[in-house]
Amino acid sequence: MAGSGWFGRFREGLAKTRQALAAQLDGLLGREIDESFYDDLEEALLAADLGVQATETVVARLRARARSGELGAAVRTPEGLRQALAEVVLAALGEPAPLRLEPPPAGIVVLGVNGAGKTTTIGKLAHRLRADGRRVIVAAADTFRAAAIDQLAVWTDRAGVELVRHAEGSDPAAVVYDAAQAARARHADVLIVDTAGRLHTKTNLLEELKKLDRVLRRELPGAPIESLLVLDATTGQNGIAQARQFAATLPLTGVVLTKLDGTARGGIAVAIADELKLPVRLVGFGEGMDDLQPFDPKAFVEALLA
Ligand code: GDP
């Protein structure tokens, strides 16, 4: 885990958030633990995009520590303050929640608005699963634009996995049906389904998503199905609003948080866990094939605060 190649890149990806947070935390060192201390701490956490609710959770836990007398000594040193904060942030993030892929074939429906990073995530995930020895099929069920299908084909070629595709404009549920048949016939371990991401407020899209979800469950009876929402970390609190809208259509089982490398507001991961009560299952931190990892709360806190 920590110390291996990916952690270095992950840590690098979180550099902006870490540096911004560290700069703010330095201003808290050695201070009296009074209301203005907590105000400034809240400001630092809000700036990192933990959101109001998660910030309140974290600060309440630190207050509880302060009452028990633990915090006073801790905040005298940068290490002490970061350590205390790391512990309460970790508690807010909860346990690691890896993808449920057993028994095969498992279905993974990938949702999200255009530009969030769905295509890239599917490519990286297919690559990862294949490297783990799993047979992967991808369904190009975003049939809205031919370019989207072609872009997905570039990634599945790169990952060396099969893509099931129909012509532009065809019924996404029909693509899912064919892909599920292919998954069964070829004893695939995982079927990943790309979906259209144009305006998620359009009812026809929502109906389309529900239909393809029904078809997937019918054709892979008893299979574990993940419905993952891809959220762009750079969109911050907007992402939380998006997640609420998607969750109103299909029950989500988790979030993929992308572009952590492009933002100083990576604290959004804590808001997702604390506010939406959704596990962050995977994180993307770059455009390379290996820049996707299962979300490891300990590694995240370490990369953010260590
Ligand atoms: P889609 O419309 O949801 O399928 O989004 P794409 O997968 O096409 O991604 C949109 C843009 O975001 C592309 O330029 C990707 O290279 C970029 N992107 C996706 N994930 C990441 C990431 O983790 N880090 C960075 N820096 N860029 C990313």
Q: Which residues contact 69 (CB under 8 A, 6 or more apart)?
A: none
Q: Does the CB atom of residue 112 touch ligand 1 within 6 A?
A: yes
Q: Does the CB atom of residue 124 touch ligand 1 within 6 A?
A: no
DSSP-derived pairing of the beta strands 136-141 and 190-195: parallel
3-state secondary structure of 249: coil
pLDDT at 103: 95
- Residue range 36-49, pLDDT digits in tens: 999 999 999 999 99
132's tokens? 């783990």
> Which residue reads 């910030």 in tokens?
55
Positions in the chain short of pLDDT 70: 1-4, 72-76, 198-203
- Residue range 145-203, pLDDT digits in tens: 889 999 999 999 999 999 999 999 999 999 999 999 999 999 999 999 999 986 555 66
> What φ, ψ does residue 82 adopt, rounded to 5°?
-65, -35
Q: What single string gives the DSSP state of each residue in 150-209?
A: HHHHHHHHHHT-EEE---TTS-HHHHHHHHHHHHHHTT-SEEEEEE--S-TT-HHHHHHH
pLDDT at 197: 84
- CB-based burial of residue 249 (10 Å sphere; 0-12 exposed, 13-18 middle, 19+ buried)? middle
Q: Does the CB atom of residue 266 touch ligand 1 within 6 A?
A: no
DSSP-derived pairing of the beta strands 190-195 and 162-164: unpaired
Measured CA to CA, the distance from residue 46 to residue 166 in angstroms comes to 45
Query: What domains are there in the chain, each with its CATH number?
Result: 4-93 (1.20.120.140), 106-295 (3.40.50.300)
pLDDT at 203: 64
305's tokens? 């605060």
pLDDT at 4: 57
> What φ, ψ does residue 165 adopt, rounded to 5°?
-135, 150
Strand order in the sheet with 136-141: 162-164, 136-141, 190-195, 106-111, 225-232, 254-258, 280-284, 292-294
Find out whether 17 and 236 touch, Cβ atoms under 8 Å.
no
Q: Which residues contact 234 (CB under 8 A, 6 or more apart)?
A: 259, 262, 263, 265
Torsion sign across C-alpha atoms 173, 112, 302, 45? negative
> Which residue reads 């596990």 in tokens?
279
pLDDT at 2: 39
Q: Does the CB atom of residue 115 touch ligand 1 within 6 A?
A: yes
Distance 89 CA to ligand 1 centre (A): 27
Nearest protein CA to atom 21 of ligand 1, as residue: 259
pLDDT at 3: 42
Q: At residue 149, what is the residue type? A: I
Q: Which of 220, 252, 214 is nearest to 110 (CA)?
A: 252
Distance 207 CA to ligand 1 centre (A): 26
Distance 284 CA to ligand 1 centre (A): 9
pLDDT at 1: 41
Q: At residue 79, what is the residue type? A: E
**Which residue out of 6, 9, 120 has the highest number of ligand 1 atoms within 8 Å of its CB and is therefore the one to mutate?**
120
Q: At residue 154, what is the residue type? A: V
Find out whether 120 and 155 touch, Cβ atoms under 8 Å.
yes
